[in-house]
Amino acid sequence: MSSSVFIAQSREGINATTLPSYFPPARYFTDIGSLLDVIVPALVMVATLGLLAMLIYASFIYLTSQGDPDKVVEARNIATYAILGLVLIMISFLIVRIIEYVFQLNLPI
């Protein structure tokens, strides 16, 4: 693709029909809202996988503590903070959805 074609495309404005063919994802994400519609659920899934990993780690520490009270407390704290972190992420996502519904907004997420 020559540079004159790219300059002509940039002057016309960017939309799904004028995006350069060498960057195919740009055809699907024409605005920030469509990009956030993909990123936010992916981040919630990553947070859920992080919770699972932290719970497995906490259970490993608990099982290998051999009755040591410090290790038991450490495992309990790890599990508690992991669950608390996921709950905060879910609550923040829910608050955004409630604000969107109450004020009849069309938020991208």
Give the pLDDT confidence score for residue 58 in this predicted structure: 96
Give yes or no for a contact between 78 and 54, defined as CB atoms under 8 angstroms apart.
Answer: yes
Whole-prediction pTM value? 0.63
Residue 9 is predicted with a pLDDT of 46
Burial class (CB in 10 A: 0-12, 13-18, 19+), 96: middle
Boundaries of every domain in the chain: 1-30, 31-109
From first to last of its 109 residues, what are the pLDDT tens digits of the chain? 554 444 444 445 555 555 555 556 666 777 777 777 778 788 888 989 999 999 999 999 999 999 899 999 999 999 999 999 989 988 988 887 888 888 887 766 6
